[in-house]
Structure 1
């Protein structure tokens, strides 16, 4: 429903583009001047990539390319689609490989425009369908997924976790999760933190050493009415704990020692909240749906004590958390808020789109997590909404889509302290697929090591032409060399 509403709004706004064609043409000229003038385009953050252990969750700092002119570096189609949808819940990139979890396999595609853009570097067959994915990758290019075992396909149980090297496609280890008979695609959540893979499914949880696959700790519902619903990883490990039943549910957030599972602090969420998400573990940010099914507020916590710092109203904003997102509650939703990006000392939130033709399509606001106040704002352009992708040092990487064939889409860096904008890539997505690929409700949008990727989370065939291929993912890189 959310995806359909978004597409309808974009179609309505696109009709206004005809009346504003002159403005659009001028906008292209302005965009070219913007890069070559030595103004915004020459400003960039001097932040350096942090030194990280191989098993730490990756934090990449980007540098602008020599030229922002984009060219395709990956383009992969799916053929022979089933009668219903084919889900592709995971997308990850390294400097060499773009990897996708599609159905019951993970594939790696080489990132190199000199060769066949449609080639496959490796393919890893899984025992069953993917049930949950982590949004994170380690500094040395590993990630984890939860899958169905071959004997559980009919029951739908999701009780196997595995770690894969994304550069090579090698399965490093695979384990059966203990007491996971009630782990399903609808309730299983997965997160990575330094050296640890943590999985929760509402009636239990388990953590493994990411290098060896050794089980570190696990919990079950046998002796408690409170249970781990999901985790958020990264620099720390947060658990969302649910107590009670569906009619009378209480939530709390716990910071855990990743190696032992011991609780370092607890924060109790106010009663009456309908749902809770964890868009960031460090700094800790809690997204709550208070009296509504959509997120109404962000709550920031002190990372040392768990005490509440600030409450930020989401009125007028679109955090796009969890079950409200396409394709619904599948594949792990606790830590996924596509309209929220959290940096070390800023929270970036995407606004709702405007219906005003001559005004910016939307904007991104930077909030101070300690005070909860808005400190900077990045505006989109008419017919060009903006999406926060991730942080790069203290800057924000932004995807600016386009709703017409004149203005190019762009990936830019934004420094919220100086309000300077640095261009990374200018490009057009394929016309027939652009609206869906650039929509975070339907597709993963990534930027990693100079490349932008747009990947559908679900694909379905055209009934009129069932054998036609469907574009699964496209990658864009610079036509010039990076510094």
Structure 2
């Protein structure tokens, strides 16, 4: 599979892109000023959204070691005013159409940098207002094949890459190198070649992280490495009736196994000991299921497509892999496997953009509602023990809402803006008290809003008072092919309450 050519050196066309970027930045800053005046000076709108008190459960924090997977609890800022922190354009895109974009998989953030994967490199952008834009750049030994949303508590993560090989050779397109790196510094900590990975490609390679372990699966094999040393801990190869299709990481390590041959494929999910790969329990998914995604390892939750390609149900399991509840998703959109126009690229089995799983509840987006005078969509909380609804968060007319992640026991939600009518926002929702607390108000460039706000097209992260948007596919503008294309944008709050 072609990823498009790597970027070339800085040229005169990039200077034209700088002019366009400055123009867009001026418009964005002016819009942010309007948002602040509207949200803070508008009298009741901001106050009606919530206050700066800490809802019960919002400060639920977990003491973490450096190798733990990061779980951040957000604080209420001193001001919800949004300020532009990062704006980065990708330059020198080939004159091509949507059928051949430059892929930019992977977006991460720490308190210091926003990091973006693009083509065959990783780039870190400073998020301090008085700093130069680029913090670091790490050229990889090939294009990125798989990424993980998981980051360690001390800011490390991994990618799988595809080393270049002669066209038509036996290993052309094989993704068999793992790179573990530091997000703050861009330092490569180690790089390892995956064993017997001749059938690992961008379409079937899945990467995850759990405490102290980096794990990769590609259908006909899998491997796990120690984070600190890069030492191989265990691996499996083709030979049984079931294949390691993917792993789900975070607090635990689950393996998704595909058994049998089409059309009679069945699925199993196993909890593994991360250090040995030994199964601790196995759950057999019912026959007839077409696809299985694993959005959460602990608590274990499966998103299954029963008789269709779209997710139809959630299945929650207990700590021993026993069935707890089945949640029918009629009228809801978990948005699993819907990135890249439904193509299976860069690892997809942990990624459900319309679904967030907490300790006791799952939060799922509804389908879009086009009725006038009603919310564009809403998010419903389901109890993982009973499967029953446990709360509802409404969007607004023309303002869809998307679940981002948990912050302690509360849910972080992105609410889209509505042009000059209302700003975009990140809010924290306490489903137990049904209380909404605003964290950030901002606006996005009008011509980029649709793409940045769509979780199928862009990564949307919230970390330590800042929201980050990272485009996944980049295509030159037909009218202005020499201009850069906005790839990364971040907005931060004016201040955090300490």
* 2:299 paired residue number: 283
Closer, same or farther: CA 37–404 of 1 in aligned 2, 3 Å: closer
Matches within 5 A, 1:291-306: 291-303=307-319, 305-306=320-321
Please report how far the alpha carbon of residue 48 of structure 1 lies from its aligned counterpart in structure 2 after TM superposition: 4.1
8 Å contact from structure 1 (residues 294, 324) kept in 2 = no
Q: 2:129 aligned with 1:129, yes or no?
A: no
Matches within 5 A, 1:196-215: 196-215=213-232
Q: 2:107 aligned with 1:91, yes or no?
A: yes
Closer, same or farther: CA 78–38 of 1 in aligned 2, 3 Å: closer
Tell me how far apart the structure 2 counterparts of residues 324 and 107 of structure 1 sit (CA, whole Å): 22
Please report how far the alpha carbon of residue 470 of structure 1 lies from its aligned counterpart in structure 2 after TM superposition: 0.6
* 1:248 paired residue number: 264
Please report how far the alpha carbon of residue 307 of structure 1 lies from its aligned counterpart in structure 2 after TM superposition: 0.7
Matches within 5 A, 1:14-53: 33-36=44-47, 39-45=50-56, 46-53=58-65
Please report how far the alpha carbon of residue 152 of structure 1 lies from its aligned counterpart in structure 2 after TM superposition: 6.6
* 1:80 paired residue number: 92
Tell me how far apart the structure 2 counterparts of residues 32 and 137 of structure 1 sit (CA, whole Å): 40
Please report how far the alpha carbon of residue 315 of structure 1 lies from its aligned counterpart in structure 2 after TM superposition: 0.6
* 2:196 paired residue number: 179
Matches within 5 A, 1:413-452: 413-452=428-467
Q: 2:368 aligned with 1:353, yes or no?
A: yes
Closer, same or farther: CA 357–259 of 1 in aligned 2, 3 Å: same
RMSD: 1.8
* 1:56 paired residue number: 68
The structure 2 residue matched to 1:260, chosen from 273, 276, 301, is 276
* 2:478 paired residue number: 463
Tell me how far apart the structure 1 counterparts of residues 349 and 148 of structure 2 sit (CA, whole Å): 11
* 2:24 paired residue number: none
Partner SS state of residue 150, structure 1: coil
Structure 1 residues 70-111: Cα deviation after superposition (integer angstroms, max 9, x where no partner): 010011001101233011110000110100110000000011
* 1:20 paired residue number: none
The structure 2 residue matched to 1:150, chosen from 164, 175, 178, is 164
* 2:381 paired residue number: 366
Tell me how far apart the structure 2 counterparts of residues 382 and 374 of structure 1 sit (CA, whole Å): 23
Q: 2:179 aligned with 1:162, yes or no?
A: yes
Tell me how far apart the structure 2 counterparts of residues 444 and 44 of structure 1 sit (CA, whole Å): 27
Tell me how far apart the structure 1 counterparts of residues 372 and 90 of structure 2 sit (CA, whole Å): 36
* 1:69 paired residue number: 81
* 1:473 paired residue number: 488
Closer, same or farther: CA 353–28 of 1 in aligned 2, 3 Å: farther
Q: 2:352 aligned with 1:341, yes or no?
A: no
Moved more, 42-51 or 87-96: 42-51
TM-score by length of 2: 0.88
